[in-house]
Amino acid sequence: MDEQMKADLSRYRITRAEEMLSAAQREHEAGDDYTANNRAYYCVFHAIRAILALDGEDYKRHSAILSKFNQKYVKTGIFDSSFGRMIYHISETRNQSDYEDYYVCTPEETAELIANAAQFLRAVRDYLETRCGIS
């Protein structure tokens, strides 16, 4: 894949991340925090994939995508280590919201997840702008 195709794919994925953040906010406002947690996670997931697209990398398993980002971008200091912890937390919350019976998530917890996803999305957009002019 040439550099232009990688940049185009990255733009597409960051747009998907933005759509997921908007969906998370809408679902939270509507009182569906389980779905909002899921959408906040997918905001982060697609933002990570936008970065990996520039490296020509993608993986089938979510855990591999999250692990590769942590290895290449968090452990090397490109992204703050707090994002590594946030990504782990949002992934765990999404899994609980989607798959665990009787899981209870408060509206405040969901609001915090959405705020964290928005902060991460801003950081990824800044990174993409600096790295290759994607705005």
The string of DSSP codes covering 38-69 is: HHHHHHHHHHHHHHHHHTT---SSHHHHHHHH
Predicted confidence (pLDDT) per residue in 53-100, tens digit: 999 999 999 999 999 999 999 999 999 999 999 999 999 999 999 999
Q: Which CATH number is 3-132's, of 1.20.120.330, 3.40.50.720, 3.40.50.1100, 3.40.1010.20?
A: 1.20.120.330
pTM: 0.95
Distance CA 133, CA 135 (A): 6
What is the average pLDDT across 23-49?
A: 97
Using CB atoms within 10 Å of the CB of residue 36, give its burial: 0 to 12 exposed, 13 to 18 middle, 19+ buried.
buried
Domain ranges of the chain: 3-132
At 122 the pLDDT is: 97
Query: 131: closest CA among 69, 53, 26?
Result: 53
Distance CA 9, CA 108 (A): 34
Angle (nearest 5°) at CA 131 between 76 and 81:
30
